[in-house]
């Protein structure tokens, strides 16, 4: 039988990163020692207090469905966290999701339909494009690669790209894949354009807690943004909880009500005991988070120094645990070659809409980072 698939899925390409991870797996099966700098997750275990809270919650019988939007205790803890960031959302304006990815999916589904225009700042995290395309939207892309991935110098380009036709703009600061943290002046520029053209903005703040010497401002705190910003965050990165699948979004009540329908008819709710672990993460884990951020900061310095030894300049990231390495124009071929010859896995910039770069994740031990960069240099990839 030949199955007929929907347009919304045939519009979406398989991820360009898949080719790299398939090749890495093949090499590892053949016995190669691959230095994997392609991963988008912290290499630390989930802090023990969070694990204990999850286990205790299971033991206490928190294993049934919860209210669809999430347990009140967690939504209250999230509301407190958002308030500390200057955002005013009560628990009723928050939906807890199985990961920030599901939050983004629900928001895009709630706001975007055939022909709606969505603006992205490139390079942009891979799933934004796929989510918009699945919803039937059209993409307008603004390239930040000429301004060291900073938005402030590229505000004129953003102004030229958006119009009254633009429905949604997605801002991700600190950014995956660049690590860039946008300045307040850049975010004010976003605000001015959003207000002028009546654009809704998603502020994906999943790396907000992972920064080096800068304090990112939440976009929703700027005058005029409270009723047009949807703030997305999650537990995967700051608390090293990728596999637990826990995230959330907060926004205006009408958006929450509409997206809540999709949420309740698809995932029902996030996992009950995981939500209890999330309360512990938000309330009692600051020291462990600070230690992880400290370690990422040291690795960031190490990678920059090692690249500098090989005369490679990168745009210094102020957040997340990624940086963009300038490579050959054909970045896909560069990444495949680096993997085959040096056994170092990276992600091609074209996967994020910006060819000519490879994304390095420094969520790896200092020894592995040293080993990876040494091998790239030895095989003439630097
Ligand atoms: C920018 C960005 N947003 C959202 C997510 C989704 O994270 P999760 O679904 O694990 O919470 C990721 C994960 O890589 C990301 O990099």
Residue 125 CA, closest ligand 1 atom number: 1
Q: How high is the pLDDT of residue 302?
A: 98
| pLDDT surpasses 90 at 16 | no
Output the pTM of the full model: 0.97
- Report the half-sphere exposure of 375 (CA within 13 A, side-chain side): 21
Give one word for 373, left, alpha or beta, with left for phi > 0 and alpha for psi -120 to 50: alpha
Other C-beta atoms closer than 10 Å to the C-beta of 249 total 29
CA distance 56 to 66: 17
Pocket probe mutation, ligand 1, options 236, 275, 359, max atoms within 8 Å of Cβ: 236
User: Could you tell me the two tokens for 201?
Assistant: 């903005």
Q: How high is the pLDDT of residue 22?
A: 85
Average pLDDT score, the chain = 96
Helix, strand, or coil here: 374? Answer: helix
- Ligand 1 centre and the CA of 126: distance in Å? 10
Instruction: Please list every protein residue whose CB sits less than 6 Å from any atom of ligand 1.
Output: 40, 99-101, 125, 172, 176, 204, 206, 234, 236, 242, 247
| pLDDT surpasses 80 at 17 | no
User: Could you tell me the two tokens for 204?
Assistant: 């994906």
DSSP string computed for 277-335 = HHHHHHHH-HHHHHHHHHHHHHHHHHHHHHHHHTT---PPPSBTTEEEEE--S-HHHHH
Q: How high is the pLDDT of residue 309?
A: 96
Strand partners, 232: 204, 249
**What is the tens place of the pLDDT at every residue in 35-82?**
999 988 999 999 999 999 999 999 999 999 999 999 999 999 999 999
**What is the tens place of the pLDDT at every residue in 248-257?**
999 999 999 9
Alpha carbon distance, N-terminus to C-terminus of the chain: 50
In the CATH hierarchy, which fold is given to the domain comprising 7-45+287-378?
3.90.1150
| pLDDT surpasses 90 at 13 | no
Determine the average pLDDT of the residues in 128-140: 97
| pLDDT surpasses 80 at 308 | yes
Q: Give the CATH class of 63-284.
A: alpha beta
When pLDDT is cut at 50, 70 and 90, the band that residue 20 belongs to is confident
- Ligand 1 centre and the CA of 157: distance in Å? 26
When pLDDT is cut at 50, 70 and 90, the band that residue 15 belongs to is confident
When pLDDT is cut at 50, 70 and 90, the band that residue 194 belongs to is very high
Q: How high is the pLDDT of residue 237?
A: 98
Query: Using CA of residue 198, residue 78, residue 95, residue 41, what is the dihedral sign?
Result: positive
Determine the average pLDDT of the residues in 75-101: 98
**Residue 252 burial (C-beta neighbours within 10 Å; 0-12, 13-18, 19+):** middle
Other C-beta atoms closer than 10 Å to the C-beta of 308 total 11
Helix, strand, or coil here: 54? Answer: helix
CA distance 335 to 348: 6
Query: Using CA of residue 79, residue 44, residue 357, residue 336, what is the dihedral sign?
Result: negative
Match 């988070």 to its residue by tokens: 289
- Ligand 1 centre and the CA of 347: distance in Å? 16
- Ligand 1 centre and the CA of 104: distance in Å? 9
Q: Which of 151, 160, 152 is nearest to 178 (CA)?
A: 151
**What is the tens place of the pLDDT at every residue in 147-169?**
999 999 999 999 999 999 999 99
Percent of the chain with pLDDT over 70: 100
17 and 347 Cβ atoms separated by less than 8 Å = yes
When pLDDT is cut at 50, 70 and 90, the band that residue 14 belongs to is confident
Residue 247 CA, closest ligand 1 atom number: 11
The distance of Cα 132 from the centroid of its chain, to the nearest Å, equals 15
CA R_g for the chain: 21
The residue count of the chain comes to 382
For the chain, the domains span: 7-45+287-378, 63-284
Greater pLDDT, 51 or 20: 51
Other C-beta atoms closer than 10 Å to the C-beta of 73 total 14
40 and 361 Cβ atoms separated by less than 8 Å = yes
């Amino acid at each position: 039988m030949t199955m007929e698939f929907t347009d919304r899925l045939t519009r979406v390409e398989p991820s360009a990163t898949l080719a790299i991870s398939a090749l890495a797996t093949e090499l590892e099966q053949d016995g190669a020692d691959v230095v994997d700098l392609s991963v988008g997750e912290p290499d630390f275990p989930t802090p023990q207090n969070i694990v204990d809270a999850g286990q205790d919650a299971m033991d206490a019988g928190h294993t049934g469905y919860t209210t669809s939007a999430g347990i009140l205790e967690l939504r209250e803890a999230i509301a407190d966290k958002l308030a500390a960031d200057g955002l005013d959302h009560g628990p009723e304006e928050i939906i807890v999701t199985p990961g920030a990815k599901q939050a983004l999916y629900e928001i895009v589904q709630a706001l975007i339909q055939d022909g709606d225009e969505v603006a992205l700042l490139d390079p942009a995290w891979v799933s934004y494009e796929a989510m918009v395309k699945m919803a039937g939207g059209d993409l307008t892309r603004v390239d930040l690669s000429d301004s060291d991935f900073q938005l402030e110098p590229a505000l004129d380009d953003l102004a030229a790209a958006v119009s009254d036709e633009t429905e949604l703009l997605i801002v991700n600061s600190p950014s995956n894949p660049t690590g860039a943290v946008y300045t307040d002046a850049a975010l004010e520029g976003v605000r001015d354009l959003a207000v002028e053209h009546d654009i809704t903005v998603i502020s994906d703040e999943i790396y907000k807690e992972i920064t080096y010497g800068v304090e990112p401002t939440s976009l929703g705190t700027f005058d005029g943004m409270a009723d047009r910003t949807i703030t997305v965050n999650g537990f995967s990165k700051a608390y090293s909880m990728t596999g637990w699948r826990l995230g959330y979004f907060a926004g205006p009540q009408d958006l929450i009500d509409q997206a809540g329908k999709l949420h309740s008819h698809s995932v029902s709710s996030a996992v009950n005991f995981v939500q209890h672990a999330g309360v512990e993460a938000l309330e009692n884990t600051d020291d462990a988070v600070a230690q992880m951020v400290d370690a990422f900061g040291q690795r960031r310095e190490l990678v920059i120094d090692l690249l500098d030894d090989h005369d490679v300049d990168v745009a210094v990231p102020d957040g997340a645990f990624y940086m963009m390495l300038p490579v050959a124009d054909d970045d896909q071929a560069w990444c495949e070659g680096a993997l085959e010859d040096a056994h170092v896995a990276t992600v091609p910039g074209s996967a994020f809409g910006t060819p000519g770069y490879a994304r390095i994740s420094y969520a790896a031990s200092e020894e592995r980072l040293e080993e990876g960069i040494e091998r790239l240099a030895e095989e003439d990839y630097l």
